[in-house]
Structure 1
Amino acid sequence: MYTPPAFREDDPATLHAMMRETRLATLVTATAEGLLATPLPLFLDDTEGANGVLYGHVAKANPQWKAPPLAEALVIFPGPEAYISPSWYASKQEHGKVVPTWNYAAVHAYGWPEFFEDEDHLREIVTRLTDLHERPRAEPWSVADAPEAFVRAQLKGIVGVRLPIARLEGKRKMSQNRPEADREGVAAGLRASPREGDREVGAMIPTARR
């Protein structure tokens, strides 16, 4: 990922937090058959290894897990993003030398994926993923709520993914390279947007007020 110094994020705790905020990542592997990619929910266990380990699962019918990777896999964690209009820059009024851009945050995790079919391990992964996303609900659903025979049948249709993270790249492009007046204009423009995602990015713009 191309990351100029002004936008680079290296703090492990911050990178892990950005990854946890992403509900759906994309696993990309380079194989003899070409590039294969699967969107999937993952959870991070930061107690394992130097950079943590990612866990999830794919459908057994998905050919990606059967195709040996030729290099490290890439897992993409997209964060908040928003279009930035040059009309929001104070410098537009000064000299007009401004262009549109995009603000966004992203983390790229690299490592060699391991796939497994052990039923007990799969049940643990599915349970942890389910609990992670059900926890905020008033009445969380649990894997144990489904009939045991049904759960076991469902587990036979998936393959687990374990990816020890070898390295991480983080980028947070939030107008840090613009003058303060331009950042203020961008933040104000995004806060006024009807799109919730734009307003989320607006709150991330570094200004003298935050």
Structure 2
Amino acid sequence: MYVPSAFREDDLAALHGTMRAARLANLVTATGESLMATPLPLFLAAEEGPHGTLYGHLARANPQWRLPPTGEAMALFMGPDAYVSPSWYPSKQEHQRVVPTWNYIAVHAYGPVEFFEDADRLLDLVTRLTNLHERPRARPWAVTDAPAEFVRAQLKGIVGLRLPITRIEGKRKMSQNRSAADRRGVAAGLAESELPSERAVAQLIPG
């Protein structure tokens, strides 16, 4: 990922925060035949390894796990993003030398990917992933709510993945390269958007 110094995010806690908030990631692998990508919910075990370890699962019918990657796998996580209109820059009134851009947060995590089929590991994986996303609900559903034999049968249709993160890149592009006045203009413009994601970006623009 191209990351100019003004937009580089190196704080591991911030990177992990973006990864957790993204909820859905894209797992990308290169094989001898092609690039392959699968959208997946992943969970982060931050305590495993220097950068953390990612876990998730694919459908057994998905060919991505059967084709050995030629190098590292990559998991892509996106945070809030928004279109930035040049009309929000006060500097536009001064010289008109302004163009549109896009603000966003992105994290790319790299490492060797391991696929596994062990039923006990898969059960632990889907239990942890389910608990993570059910926890905020008033009446959380649990894997144990389903009959055990049914769950075991369902596990036969998936393959687990483990990706220990060996390197991680973060980009936080929030108009840091603009003047304070232009940043205030962007924040004000986005704050009036009908899109919740753009209003979220407005709150991230530095003052």
Q: Under a length normalisation based on structure 1, what TM-score does the superposition of the two structures give?
A: 0.98
Instruction: Name the counterpart of 1:149.
Output: 149
Instruction: Name the counterpart of 1:185.
Output: 185
Instruction: Name the counterpart of 1:83.
Output: 83
In the TM superposition, what are the counterparts of 1:1-210 in structure 2 within 5 Å?
A: 1-207=1-207
Aligned residues: 207
Note the alpha carbon deviations across 1:81-111, whole angstroms, 9 max, x for none: 0000000001001111000000000000000
Note the alpha carbon deviations across 1:136-175, whole angstroms, 9 max, x for none: 0000000001111110010000000000001000000000
Cα distance in 2 for partners of 1:79, 1:17 equals 10
What runs of 5+ residues in structure 2 fail to find an aligned partner? none
The amino acid that maps onto 2:41 is P
Q: Which runs of 4+ in 1 moved over 3 A?
A: none
3-state SS of paired residue (2:140): coil
Of all paired residues, the percent bearing the same amino acid is: 69
What runs of 5+ residues in structure 1 fail to find an aligned partner? none
How far off its partner does 1:15 sit?
0.7
Cα distance in 2 for partners of 1:4, 1:166 equals 21
3-state SS of paired residue (2:22): coil
Cα distance in 1 for partners of 2:2, 2:66 equals 30
Cα distance in 1 for partners of 2:14, 2:37 equals 25
The amino acid that maps onto 1:181 is A
Cα distance in 1 for partners of 2:97, 2:121 equals 57
How far off its partner does 1:47 sit?
1.0
The amino acid that maps onto 2:79 is G
The amino acid that maps onto 1:151 is V
The amino acid that maps onto 1:84 is V
Cα distance in 1 for partners of 2:117, 2:39 equals 19
3-state SS of paired residue (1:49): coil
